Chains A and B, each alone.
Chain A
Amino acid sequence: MSNVESQVAEWRAYVEHAPNVNGRDVDELEGHLRDQIAELDAAGLTADEAFIVAVRRIGDLDTLSREFAREHSGRLWKQLVLRDHDEPTRETSGVFEALLFAVAAAVAIQIARIAAQFPEEQAGWLLRNVSLFVLPFLAGYFARRRRLSLRQSLLTAAPFVIAAVVINLYPFVEGSATELLVAAHLPVLLWFVVAYPYMSGVLRSHERRMDFVRFTGEWFIYYVLIALGGGVLLALTSLILEPAGANPERVIEWVLPSGAAGAVIVAAWLVESKQRLVENMAPVLTMLFTPLFAVMLAGATVVYAVTGFGAAFDRELLGVFDALLVVVVGLVLYGISARDPSSPPGWTDRIQLVAVVSALALDVIVLAAMIARIGGLGFTPNRTAALGLNLVLLVSLSGTAWLSTRFLAGRSTFHPLERWQTAYLPIFALWAATVVAALPPLFGFI
């Protein structure tokens, strides 16, 4: 029997190396194998024969691995085994393609900068349009990479054209609040437009939406890393140039906009092709920052619940709170997308719930203060945008808190919680679109 033992051990080691099959799956499969061997043994087969028949019945490993991948799309995304079947990837052309789009974005933003004479002149149109000089190239990059059909490519381009027409036909008062709101919300809206080519035009798929959330989180991490490196490089460059009598500000003026625009596409390419690099880092970062945010939010909630906002509640503070809540929702969303849906509730889920509930409480406090302010002073573009954003976040956080409590209480699986997140994504896009398209005319472009 020891011969079979060593054969089973060998088989196990082999299966463990298969992509998408994890340790617990192998335990289960090994149990199955042993049951089968025992039964065949009892039926009179020799140990070796029993082993061979049992292994054959389990099926070939490639198919099995792919089947596991189909079920655990989180693992699939790590291994990308389905790629070879669904969409063949071209290995070498990826870099050049990405660089081409990155350079195009860098040139486009530079032309816009020169046309606007930035930074000598602070043209409002440049601020409004800045994302329109960058994100179409990202969308184009994905349209090519995913080999979209002509119709799908046109559908990708249409929102960019419409957005460009709308925000440039609107007669904004120079430096008005609505113009600033458009400048802040258009990039968000256009990011959701990029989702269309990213998901190969399949917008309804829950799994692909989750992939896009993961992509967003990882893209952000890469972008921050590139920005940090670029910052160091620029700082050193100016230190070196200054003694030589050159004006470093002129250099930065040229390099910074192009670098920032090109990095958007380069970061996307990194997420696409250097997947393994970030997949080890991203869950660690979420695990690190979710508890820190939970503590910070819980503290802030207690403080503001006790003291109230009083006179300190002004536009800046409101902006800070909204930014904080958006970050928390983003962190939770990414945390959920990076989690293995089949694992049981753990401490990270509890901490995440603390963060969500605290954010929810904080949101309610902010909303109460804002409604009081609107009651006293009336609606302005900023207050309307903030009120809407807070309501959108309130619903999102409430759903997350409720479903996550049910999950932790063992009354449901993780699945509804994931579903809620992906189902809610269009609401964010819709709200950004409302601010961009509807708010300016409502308030007379002031």
Chain B
Amino acid sequence: MHIDKDLVAASATPLVLAILEDGESYGYAILKRVRELSGGELEWTDGMLYPLLHRLRRLGYVTTEWRTPKEGRRRKYYAITDDGRSALEEHQRQWATVTRALGDVWRGSGGMMIAPGEA
């Protein structure tokens, strides 16, 4: 299934914020998690994650820190802030409304037939 580019872009921010709410992480791990969660359906160009993360940082939704874990290489870790959590809640509200509306309309229209002669 190919998911529309605009839809991928719109869901990127809440997805990343939600992943970071489970605990701080770095770019590569965030992307792996996105693939896991979507069963590989959400196709991101890897590089695009970074401008997005920088935007979240500028807006104060995440903080960053360069760290070298015991075994591994130096990485830039991102952690969610309180502002980020409230932004995530707002996103959740919006998405809930959208999915509810879509669900309602699809359930409703499923039983309806287009009148002959029209359309």
The interface stretch among A55-63, A178-186, A302-310, A349-357 is A55-63
A345 to chain B, nearest CB (A): 13
A28-B27, A32-B46, A415-B59 known, 10 other contacts, Cβ within 8 Å: A31-B75, A32-B28, A32-B50, A34-B73, A63-B47, A64-B51, A68-B51, A68-B54, A71-B58, A341-B58
Task: Output the least CB separation between A55 and chain B (Å).
Answer: 10
Q: Is A32 within 8 A of B27, CB to CB?
A: yes
Residue among A31, A36, A412 with most chain B CB within 10 A: A31
Complex: A70 Cα to B45 Cα, angstroms? 16
**Residue A286 interfacial (CB < 8 Å):** no
Do B74 and A58 touch (CB < 8 A)?
Answer: no
Chain B residues in the interface with A (C-beta under 8 A): 26-28, 31, 45-48, 50-52, 54-55, 57-60, 73-76
> How many inter-chain contacts with C-beta < 8 Å in the A-B complex?
68
| B contact patch SS | helix
Q: Write out the residue numbers on chain B whose beta carbons fall within 8 Å of the beta carbon of A339.
A: none
Whether A71 and B59, one on each chain, are in contact in the complex, defined by CB atoms closer than 8 angstroms, is: no
Does chain B have a CB within 8 A of A29?
yes
Chain A count of residues within 8 A CB distance of the other chain: 26
Q: Are B76 and A64 in contact (CB under 8 A)?
A: no
Q: Which residues of A are at the interface with B, using a C-beta cutoff of 8 A?
A: 25, 27-29, 31-32, 34-36, 57-59, 63-64, 67-68, 70-72, 341-342, 412-416
CA distance A416 to B60 in the complex (A): 9
Partner of B60, one of A29, A58, A71, A413: A413
Task: List B contacts of A70 (CB < 8 A).
Answer: 51
Query: A31-B73, A32-B27, A68-B51 are contacts. A415–B46 as well, Cβ < 8 Å?
Result: no
- Kindly state the separation between the CA atoms of A231 and B45 in the bound complex, as whole angstroms: 56
The contact of A413 among B27, B51, B52, B59, by CB within 8 Å, is B59
Contact in complex: A413, B73 (CB < 8 Å): no
A72 to chain B: closest residue by CB: B54
Known: A32-B28, A32-B46, A59-B45. A342 touches B54 (CB 8 A): yes
- Give A216 to B67 CA distance when docked, in angstroms: 40
CB-based contact B57/A342 at 8 Å:
yes
